[in-house]
Structure 1
Amino acid sequence: MTRLRGGAVTAVAVLVTVTGCTADQTRGASGPQETGHGGAALAAAGSLTVKGRAPKTGYSRDRFGTAWADTDSNSCDTRDDILKRDLEDVKFTGGTCKVSYGLLESDPYSGKRITYRRGRSQVDIDHVVALSDAWQKGAKYWGPSKRIALANDPLNLIAVDASTNRGKGDGDAATWLPPAKAYRCTYVAAQVAVKKKYGLWVTAAEQAAMKKVLTGCPKQKLPTGGNPTKAPERFRAH
């Protein structure tokens, strides 16, 4: 039995492949909550629209609204929601929202054990599909509500080692994969799930990279769940 982030306990069968991938790990209650049938991730990767990357012209973080907006209206900002979901031994400041301390027992990107302390954190909340990448593959044509939703969707967010994450930049599967090979199947499946949910396209090189990873774990499931694809009307973006 393997204890997953969020407190759920499930049996995880290890898939021994040339890519070093393991079975899909479903994240906590505010993240992906269901999985599709075995092999759904590879099939979904093949179904994504393939187009060239659009210019980055016009992109800024502000296009996706204020960082960590409380789009699920639970009175906690999105960053703290993900910290609560992904860290162990969590401690709070002034209530049950602001996470002041926690442990990332095994960073999915590097495998390291990392201590989170508010204000001097070594933990980032990563957009699995980077916002700049999304902008160049469809999001520039969306209304603000959908962009805000993507930026705060738990399906697209994960707590990770900050130093490893900084090396990712706005890379897609063709240009960056987690150094921890055992996590690559889960990581790519999450990218596929986000792009499918929001109707983002992929480049030919990106789709080929996704298929290469997922072919090594052909039973990989497709994560689902997260928030609606439109944020409440009270939220604004430039």
Structure 2
Amino acid sequence: MGRQKQKHISGLTAAAALLLVTVTGCAGQADSGPNGKGPTAKPTAKRTAEPTRGAPGGPPAGAGTLPGLPGAAEARTRLAALKVAPQGSMTGYSRDKFPHWAEQGENCNTRETVLERDGTGVRRDSQCRAVSGNWLSVYDGKTVTKASGLDIDHMVPLANAWRSGANTWTQEKRKAFANDLTHPQLLAVSAVTNRSKGDQGPEEWQPPSRAYWCVYARAWTSVKATYGLTVTRAEKTELGTMLDTCGS
């Protein structure tokens, strides 16, 4: 190979190497944090509105920490057996007729027990109050780091239970229902989603995260079946629709 041709190739190689160093350096600078002390967060898209009914999104579906949760097939069988009846009256209803939160030993009550169960890295003080931890609110997929931002949701709300047959129960049975740690009746969720739910059934309110619909319907059906509570026709239909998101 001639001397001039070798010089030409060497020049091209040097230029290519210089270009590579320049590009790599720019890429590294783009990820640098303030004063070059580490990577910055990637730009994120603007937050959109909450998922609409039936829209995908939210955390992955899963049983999480809910105890006694039936599989989809069992839930469908139990749903088919639920008695359909119109909702009863709210006459005589009071949350005081469902005493909560009950003592669970070691200075802990039902609320603190659920917070411990549903969180990760939970630390308690001498009075069993959660002072730190992390919780995934499965209804909306948000992470909560302060216990004050959480409510303990009754899967089947107390007022809904009252209208579905709990008005005939003894006070002791209503207390057991309001503090049930054995069945999928209690879970820690963000206060905002719990309060938007109120005492509504699934025909009126569903978790913003469609990914949780399967678990929600299985849990709701299980609680109603366990306690012999009735469902409305619209409620039963919607539970079937939500169970369909479970797949086969």
1:14 counterpart residue number: none
Q: Measured at CA, do residues 166 and 175 of structure 1 come closer, stay the same or move farther in structure 2, by a change above 3 Å?
A: same
Is it true that 1:159 corresponds to 2:188 in the alignment?
A: yes
Determine which of 197, 203, 211 is the counterpart of 1:168: 197
Which whole-Å CA distance do the structure 2 matches of 1:56 and 1:37 have between them?
32
Q: Hey, what's the Cα distance between the residues in 1 that align with 2:157 and 2:222?
A: 14
**Contact 1:111–1:180 (Cα < 8 Å) also in 2:** yes
The gaps in structure 2 that reach 5 residues or longer are 1-53
Contact 2:72 2:218 in 1 (8 A): no
Contact 1:69 1:78 in 2 (8 A): yes
TM-score (norm 1): 0.74
Q: Who is 1:101 aligned against?
A: 132
Cα distance between partner residues in 2 of 1:182 and 1:26: 13
Whether 1:69 and 2:102 are equivalent positions in the alignment is yes
Q: Judging by fraction of residues, say which structure has more helix.
A: 2
Task: Report which of the two structures shows the higher radius of gyration computed on alpha carbons.
Answer: 2
In the alignment, what sits opposite 1:134? 161
* Contact 2:151-2:191 at 8 Å conserved across structures: yes
1:64 touches 1:144 (CA, 8 Å); kept in 2?
A: yes
CA distance in 2, matches of 1:132, 1:152: 15
2:81 is aligned to 47
Kindly indicate whether residue 194 of structure 2 is the aligned counterpart of residue 194 of structure 1.
Answer: no
| CA distance in 1: counterparts of 2:201 and 2:229, whole angstroms | 12
Tell me how far apart the structure 2 counterparts of residues 37 and 126 of structure 1 sit (CA, whole Å). Answer: 21
How far 1:19 sits from its partner (Å)? Answer: 7.4
Deviations 1:168-220 (A, max 9, x none): 0100010001001100110111111111111111000100000111123244x
Decide whether aligned partners of structure 1 residues 36 and 123 sit closer, same or farther in structure 2, where only a CA change above 3 A counts: closer
Q: Deviations over 1:33-92 (max 9, x none)?
A: 5x5455111221111111010011110100112x2112x556520000000000111111
Find the counterpart in structure 2 of residue 85 from structure 1: 117
The sequence identity of aligned pairs, in percent, is: 39
- SS, match of residue 57 in structure 1: coil
Q: Separation in 2 of the partners of 1:193 and 1:138?
A: 15
Aligned equivalents of 2:167, 2:246: Cα separation in 1: 33
Alignment of 1:203-222 (within 5 A): 203-219=232-248
Determine helix, strand or coil for the equivalent of 1:89. strand
**Contact in 1 for aligned 2:140/2:208 (Cα 8 Å):** yes
Worse-superposed segment, 74-83 or 186-195:
74-83
- C-alpha contact 1:19 1:213 (8 A) present in aligned 2: no
| Alpha-carbon distance change, 130 to 75 in structure 1, aligned in 2, over 3 angstroms | same
Higher relative contact order (CA 8 A, sep 6+): 1
- Given that 2:70 and 2:219 are in contact with CA atoms closer than 8 Å, whether structure 1 keeps it comes out as no
Q: Is the 8 A contact 1:46 1:211 kept in 2?
A: no
Partners of 1:19 and 1:196 lie apart in 2 by 28
Separation in 2 of the partners of 1:218 and 1:55? 36
Q: Distance in 2 between matches of 1:111 and 1:43?
A: 29
**Structure 1 moving runs of 4+ over 2 Å:** 18-24, 35-38, 72-75
Given the two structures, how large is their TM-score scaled by the length of structure 2?
0.71
What RMSD in Å do the two structures reach over aligned CA positions?
2.0
